[in-house]
A and B are shown apart, each in its own frame.
Chain A
Amino acid sequence: MSDRTVLLGLDGATFAVLDPLMQEGVMPFLKEFVDSGARGDLQSVIPALTPPAWTSLTTGRSPGRHGIFDFFCKESPDSHNIRIATAKDVHGETIWSIADRHGLRTIALNFPLMFPAPRIRGYVVPGWMPWRQIRLGCHPPELYDRLKKLPGFNAQELAMDITPDAKPIQGVRPGEYEEWVVVHIRREQQWATILRTLMHEDPCELTAIVFDGVDRIQHLCWRYLSPAASDTLSPEGTRIRERCREYFRELDRLLAGVVGLAGPEARVIIASDHGFGPQTGTFFANAWLEKQGYLAWAGEGTPRADRPEALGIEQLARHAYLLDWEKTRAYAPTPSSNGIHIVRRGPGHPHGVPDDEYEGFRQKLAQQLREATDPASGKAIVSRVWTRDEVFEGPYKSLAPDLTMDLADGGLISILASDVPYMSRTETSGTHRRNGVFIARGPGIARGVRLSGVSILDVPPLLLHSLDLEIPADMEGTVPEGALDPSWLRSRPIRRAAAAPIEDVPEPQAEEALFTKEDELKLAQRLRDLGYID
């Protein structure tokens, strides 16, 4: 197994946090790993969000070409209804499917959008699954019974549980932080135990895992973890900071164990789906649209923000009932994509924007967003606005938001009603940035190299090249040759498949949604944990 390849995903990792931890001795293994390999910032996709970004990293396609823009997807281009995205919504071959096609085997753990699991040679445990259903996601089916026998196995902690997983975005009560970080330490230990067990008992050519506690801890604990914070913390804040460092210390130990088990002949790539930085305020996008006359709520009972951190996660998928569709022409359905959808006139939407007015409407709205300011400070709220034609080129762009925003502080929007369109947060939290991390080490990898301009789309070509496989023509990225030892590159030239004839891709069609019709309101209230969290 001379081309054994390992992908260690660190969800949301940023050198802004990792570098100080390495320098201060909290992550000694990672420091040694970086020093003896190649590193660089990794540019994520737009939006820099877990589902589209990891899907780009595993397919080599940008969101307009793989069809994933959010944790949720529209039923059809003209529908207001959204549903949870699944593996069935991912378009394009994944690195494990390609490996399987060439007879290679994969261990893939904790990646989003892997349910239903691909029936590949090897092992799959999907991430972002409800804990009661992990068995259904495991491949092969008998794998779950093996997992249950592992020491310390706890499905509820291993899986996504919506209650604790909402906390990174919306906050936890004072006094809960430390225990919450400790849960994530145990959680990563469980994933690492599963990985080491499979690697030991049945090693595969491609091994891949996501450790997602990095993202969750940075969301909630940024103000404790940030290098700038250490001098100003209270005694409790200092304790929380130490717990966070404990998490990273343990993560370092787990990474060392996995890399050691893979052996010196393995090429190891560490990558994140996006980076991280501070979020200082909240933009209530639907409240702003209401004030501009683009949106109207259906009536009393509209959920309102009671604090700046309230993004409206509990209200996901309820916009279909909460908005007045005779008066609404633009709306933000989820707090997880920073996207605004325009209501187009058509069957079922007689009050939408007519086709011949659409472009003018979209441009005007985009310009107004660019000019939106925080009334208190006078500063711009939105730093960039893209039309979907600008950033989502590909056969699935019609499923994307009409407009996608970058907020000035890099944060996520709220979808709740609010008296004011923008609130400063009482405490700084963490949120996504586009620059993540790329680190590689192993035979054929250059030592001590710093790279620039590496895209998340370049990672799957590198993984396939490491496995000595041809790179499909439809992968948008290229092998980052600067990361490779020139002599190794000469001995193993990059093989790229010839471009295949472009096939017609049918327009996405409506599928049945599970929780979308107006009559479901009562059930939706019962089912308020629908969904997500990053």
Chain B
Amino acid sequence: MKASREQIMADVLGLLRKLADDWEYTGEITPQTRFFTDMGLGSLDVVVLGTAVQEHYKQVFPFADLFARVGQRAVPDMPVGEWVDFIHEHLDGGPGPGAAPSRMGE
């Protein structure tokens, strides 16, 4: 069964908040938080996050299309919510076998 947008949002926010605790990032992470400007991530961070998402859902996502759109903006950045929308839009099904829906990255 395909995960709902709400499930994906909860998974992604949970993942980012857990990681942000490791970074000692003190800001609040919400659907409006931007990856680069707000959280200060680098490209390799996003590559790894994308790989973790693909590993969780056992599916390759066309992230290049998303970044192409983002790259055309005056400020090339995106909020978490946009990333979640993209994942939801391209998701074929639920998490892969053995993956707990609320434990992305594990």
Chain A contacts to B: CB under 8 angstroms: 83-84, 86, 88, 115-116, 129-130, 132-137, 141, 144, 148, 155, 162, 511-517, 519-524, 526-531
Selected A-B contacts with CB under 8 Å, 30 pairs: A86-B51, A116-B55, A130-B44, A132-B19, A132-B22, A132-B23, A132-B41, A133-B44, A136-B48, A136-B49, A136-B105, A141-B103, A155-B22, A512-B63, A513-B64, A514-B50, A514-B63, A515-B43, A516-B64, A519-B69, A519-B71, A521-B71, A522-B71, A522-B72, A522-B76, A526-B36, A526-B76, A527-B43, A529-B44, A530-B47
B5 CB, min distance to chain A CBs, angstroms: 21
Contact between A515 and B67, CB atoms less than 8 A apart: yes
Contact between A514 and B36, CB atoms less than 8 A apart: no
In the assembled complex, B13 has its CB within 8 A of some CB on chain A: no
Contact between A148 and B67, CB atoms less than 8 A apart: no
Indicate the size class of the contact surface on chain B.
35 or more
The answer, among B18, B55, B60, B71, for a CB contact under 8 Å with A512, is B60
Complex CA distance for A152 and B84, rounded to whole angstroms: 36
The answer, among B67, B69, B76, B77, for a CB contact under 8 Å with A514, is B67
The answer, among A84, A130, A519, for a CB contact under 8 Å with B42, is A130
Q: Which residues of A contact B22 (CB under 8 A)?
A: 132, 134-135, 144, 148, 155
A21 CB, min distance to chain B CBs, angstroms: 34
Complex CA distance for A148 and B68, rounded to whole angstroms: 37
* B50-96 CB contacts (< 8 Å) to partner A: 50-52, 55, 60-64, 67-73, 76-77
Complex A-B, nearest 6 residue pairs according to Cβ-Cβ distance, in ascending order? A527-B43, A523-B71, A141-B106, A519-B68, A133-B48, A523-B76
Q: Which residues of B contact A130 (CB under 8 A)?
A: 42, 44-45, 48
Complex CA distance for A162 and B71, rounded to whole angstroms: 22
Q: Which residues of A contact B77 (CB under 8 A)?
A: 526
Complex CA distance for A185 and B53, rounded to whole angstroms: 34
Q: Which residues of A contact B19 (CB under 8 A)?
A: 132-133, 135-136
Which of A511, A516, A527, A530 has the most chain B CB atoms inside 10 A of its CB? A527
Closest to A141 in B: B106
Contact between B61 and A512, CB atoms less than 8 A apart: yes
Q: Which residues of A contact B62 (CB under 8 A)?
A: 512
Contact between B52 and A116, CB atoms less than 8 A apart: yes
The answer, among A116, A134, A155, A529, for a CB contact under 8 Å with B43, is A529
Contact between A512 and B45, CB atoms less than 8 A apart: no
Q: Which residues of B contact A162 (CB under 8 A)?
A: 42, 44
Contact between B23 and A531, CB atoms less than 8 A apart: no
Q: Which residues of B contact A516 (CB under 8 A)?
A: 64
Given contacts A135-B19, A520-B71, contact A84 B47 (CB under 8 A): yes
Given contacts A130-B45, A514-B46, A515-B43, contact A523 B67 (CB under 8 A): yes
Q: Which residues of A contact B47 (CB under 8 A)?
A: 83-84, 514-515, 530
Q: Which residues of A contact B46 (CB under 8 A)?
A: 514, 527
B82 CB, min distance to chain A CBs, angstroms: 13
Closest to A133 in B: B48
Q: Which residues of A contact B73 (CB under 8 A)?
A: 522
Complex CA distance for A116 and B48, rounded to whole angstroms: 9
Contact between A511 and B60, CB atoms less than 8 A apart: yes
Contact between A524 and B71, CB atoms less than 8 A apart: yes
Contact between B43 and A136, CB atoms less than 8 A apart: no
Complex CA distance for A134 and B62, rounded to whole angstroms: 24
Q: Which residues of A contact B61 (CB under 8 A)?
A: 512
Which of B45, B55, B71 has the most chain A CB atoms inside 10 A of its CB? B71
B20 CB, min distance to chain A CBs, angstroms: 9
Complex CA distance for A519 and B66, rounded to whole angstroms: 10
Known: A148-B22, A526-B77. 8 other contacts (CB 8 A): A132-B23, A133-B19, A137-B48, A141-B106, A511-B60, A519-B68, A523-B70, A524-B71
* B1-40 CB contacts (< 8 Å) to partner A: 18-19, 22-23, 36
Q: Which residues of B contact A511 (CB under 8 A)?
A: 60
Complex CA distance for A115 and B23, rounded to whole angstroms: 19
Closest to B18 in A: A135
Contact between A530 and B71, CB atoms less than 8 A apart: no
Complex CA distance for A86 and B60, rounded to whole angstroms: 13
Q: Which residues of A contact B42 (CB under 8 A)?
A: 130, 162, 527, 529
Q: Which residues of B contact A527 (CB under 8 A)?
A: 42-43, 46
Which of A86, A136, A155, A513 has the most chain B CB atoms inside 10 A of its CB? A136
Complex CA distance for A126 and B78, rounded to whole angstroms: 28
Complex CA distance for A79 and B41, rounded to whole angstroms: 28
Complex CA distance for A155 and B21, rounded to whole angstroms: 12
Q: Which residues of B contact A132 (CB under 8 A)?
A: 19, 22-23, 41, 45
Which of A132, A137, A520 has the most chain B CB atoms inside 10 A of its CB? A132
Q: Which residues of B contact A531 (CB under 8 A)?
A: 43-44
Complex CA distance for A130 and B45, rounded to whole angstroms: 6
B46 CB, min distance to chain A CBs, angstroms: 7
Q: Which residues of B contact A512 (CB under 8 A)?
A: 60-64
A389 CB, min distance to chain B CBs, angstroms: 30
Complex CA distance for A144 and B103, rounded to whole angstroms: 15
A178 CB, min distance to chain B CBs, angstroms: 27
The answer, among A129, A133, A520, for a CB contact under 8 Å with B68, is A520
Q: Which residues of A contact B50 (CB under 8 A)?
A: 514
Complex CA distance for A132 and B18, rounded to whole angstroms: 11
Contact between B71 and A133, CB atoms less than 8 A apart: no
Closest to B25 in A: A132
Q: Which residues of A contact B49 (CB under 8 A)?
A: 133, 136
Q: Which residues of B contact A530 (CB under 8 A)?
A: 43-44, 47
Complex CA distance for A526 and B40, rounded to whole angstroms: 11
B104 CB, min distance to chain A CBs, angstroms: 9
